[in-house]
C-alpha cells in the first residue's frame, strides 16, 4: 500500500517537472530575434506605481542576464529618464503583443532627458547598456512572457 501511495505521488510530480522544463518561469522572459536566436533574461516585474517609479534607481550593477520589465496594461505613448539610475541601460519599448517597437541603446546614467517610445507601447524592458547591440536585439523582435500572453 505504501508503494502504491508513493507511486501515486511521484507520477504527477514528474509530469509537472517535465511540463516545467522548456517553459519560462514567471521571473524570466525570452527575446526571440529576427535571426532565430533566443535570449533568456531573469527579470524583476514592475507593475505597481511604486515599483515603476523606483525602477532600477540607485543600483550600481546588474547581472548580464538580468533586467526589469515595466508592464502598464494599456498601450500609450511612454517616456523614461535616467534620474538616479547609476548604470547605463538599453530601454526596449514593447507593443501589447510582445513585439519590440523601439530600442534606445546605452541610456546615460543620471540623465534627465526624456527618452520617448516613439509610439504607443504597453511595456518597457530595461537591460544593461550595450546588451541589445551585443545580442542583436532590434525593432520587430519578440518578447515572450506571460504578460503578453505569448509565452
- Domain residues of the chain, as ranges? 25-148
Q: What is the pLDDT of residue 79?
A: 97
Q: What is the pLDDT of residue 74?
A: 95
Q: What is the pLDDT of residue 23?
A: 66
Cell of 58: 540607485
**Average pLDDT of 138-145?**
98
Query: How many CB atoms neighbour CB 116 within 10 A?
Result: 13
CA distances from 132 to 35, 108, 149 (A): 14, 15, 23
Q: Coil, strand or helix: which one is 42? A: strand
Burial class (CB in 10 A: 0-12, 13-18, 19+), 71: middle
Residues pairing with 68 in the sheet: 44, 126
Mean pLDDT of the chain: 87
Please state, in angstroms and rounded to a whole number, the distance separating the CA atoms of residues 83 and 57.
7
Indicate the fold that domain 25-148 takes in CATH.
Jelly Rolls (2.60.120)
pTM score, two decimals?
0.84
Residue tagged 527618452 (cell numbers)? 115
Q: Give pLDDT tens digits for 36-60.
A: 999 999 999 999 999 999 999 999 9
Write b or e for each residue in 15-48: b if 16 or more Cβ atoms lie within 10 A of its Cβ, otherwise e. Answer: eeeeeeeeebeeebbbbbbeeeeebebebebbee
Amino acid at each position: 500500500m505504501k508503494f502504491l501511495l508513493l507511486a501515486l505521488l511521484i507520477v504527477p510530480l514528474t509530469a509537472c517537472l517535465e511540463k516545467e522544463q522548456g517553459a519560462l518561469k514567471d521571473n524570466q522572459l525570452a527575446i526571440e530575434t529576427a535571426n532565430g536566436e533566443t535570449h533568456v533574461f531573469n527579470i524583476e516585474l514592475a507593475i505597481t506605481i511604486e515599483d515603476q517609479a523606483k525602477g532600477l534607481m540607485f543600483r550600481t550593477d546588474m547581472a548580464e542576464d538580468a533586467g526589469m520589465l515595466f508592464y502598464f496594461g494599456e498601450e500609450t505613448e511612454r517616456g523614461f529618464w535616467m534620474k538616479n539610475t547609476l548604470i547605463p541601460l538599453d530601454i526596449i519599448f514593447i507593443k501589447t503583443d510582445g513585439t519590440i517597437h523601439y530600442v534606445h541603446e546605452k541610456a546615460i546614467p543620471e540623465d534627465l532627458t526624456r527618452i520617448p517610445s516613439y509610439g504607443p507601447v504597453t511595456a518597457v524592458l530595461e537591460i544593461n547598456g550595450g546588451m541589445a547591440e551585443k545580442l542583436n536585439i532590434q525593432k520587430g523582435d519578440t518578447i515572450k512572457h506571460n504578460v503578453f500572453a505569448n509565452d
